[in-house]
Amino acid sequence: MRRVTQEFFIPFVTLRDTTKGYAVSLIKAGAGLVGYPAGDVRAPLVMPSAQELETLKRLIEHAERL
Protein backbone atom coordinates (compact mmCIF):
# COMPACT_ATOMS: atom_id res chain seq x y z
CA MET A 1 0.00 0.00 0.00
CA ARG A 2 2.85 2.35 0.85
CA ARG A 3 4.45 1.84 -2.58
CA VAL A 4 1.19 2.50 -4.40
CA THR A 5 0.66 5.66 -2.36
CA GLN A 6 4.20 6.95 -2.80
CA GLU A 7 4.87 5.83 -6.36
CA PHE A 8 1.48 6.37 -7.97
CA PHE A 9 -1.07 8.23 -5.90
CA ILE A 10 1.08 11.13 -4.66
CA PRO A 11 2.60 11.82 -8.13
CA PHE A 12 -0.90 11.59 -9.66
CA VAL A 13 -2.33 14.05 -7.13
CA THR A 14 0.62 16.38 -7.73
CA LEU A 15 -0.13 16.32 -11.48
CA ARG A 16 -3.85 16.71 -10.81
CA ASP A 17 -3.25 19.79 -8.68
CA THR A 18 -1.37 21.65 -11.44
CA THR A 19 -4.55 22.80 -13.18
CA LYS A 20 -8.09 23.39 -11.99
CA GLY A 21 -10.37 20.69 -13.40
CA TYR A 22 -7.68 18.07 -13.87
CA ALA A 23 -9.50 15.76 -11.47
CA VAL A 24 -11.83 15.11 -14.41
CA SER A 25 -9.42 15.69 -17.30
CA LEU A 26 -6.77 13.24 -16.10
CA ILE A 27 -9.30 10.47 -15.52
CA LYS A 28 -10.72 10.91 -19.02
CA ALA A 29 -7.22 11.05 -20.52
CA GLY A 30 -6.11 8.03 -18.50
CA ALA A 31 -9.15 6.04 -19.60
CA GLY A 32 -8.19 6.76 -23.19
CA LEU A 33 -4.59 5.71 -22.57
CA VAL A 34 -5.71 2.29 -21.35
CA GLY A 35 -8.12 1.70 -24.21
CA TYR A 36 -11.38 3.16 -22.97
CA PRO A 37 -11.71 6.52 -24.74
CA ALA A 38 -14.03 8.87 -22.90
CA GLY A 39 -13.67 11.94 -25.10
CA ASP A 40 -12.53 15.39 -24.09
CA VAL A 41 -13.81 17.47 -21.23
CA ARG A 42 -16.16 20.37 -21.91
CA ALA A 43 -15.15 24.00 -21.52
CA PRO A 44 -14.06 25.63 -19.32
CA LEU A 45 -12.06 22.53 -18.38
CA VAL A 46 -9.03 21.62 -20.50
CA MET A 47 -7.36 18.36 -21.41
CA PRO A 48 -3.75 17.71 -20.34
CA SER A 49 -0.89 18.86 -22.56
CA ALA A 50 1.20 16.36 -24.52
CA GLN A 51 3.89 16.51 -21.84
CA GLU A 52 1.34 15.91 -19.08
CA LEU A 53 -0.13 13.00 -21.04
CA GLU A 54 3.33 11.46 -21.25
CA THR A 55 3.74 11.85 -17.49
CA LEU A 56 0.33 10.25 -16.95
CA LYS A 57 1.22 7.41 -19.31
CA ARG A 58 4.43 6.71 -17.37
CA LEU A 59 2.50 6.77 -14.07
CA ILE A 60 -0.04 4.29 -15.40
CA GLU A 61 2.67 1.98 -16.77
CA HIS A 62 4.48 2.11 -13.43
CA ALA A 63 1.26 1.42 -11.53
CA GLU A 64 0.65 -1.68 -13.64
CA ARG A 65 4.00 -3.05 -12.43
CA LEU A 66 3.33 -2.37 -8.74
Calpha distance 1→10 (Å, rounded): 12
What confidence score (pLDDT) does residue 9 get?
95
What confidence score (pLDDT) does residue 7 get?
95
23 torsion bin: left (phi>0), alpha (psi -120 to 50), beta (else): alpha
Q: What pTM, to 2 d.p., does this model score?
A: 0.88
What confidence score (pLDDT) does residue 46 get?
96
Q: Give residue-wise pLDDT tens across range 2-59.
A: 999 999 999 999 999 999 999 999 999 999 999 999 999 999 999 999 999 999 999 9
Calpha distance 54→50 (Å, rounded): 6
Q: What angle do CA 64, 19, 27 make, to 5 degrees?
A: 35
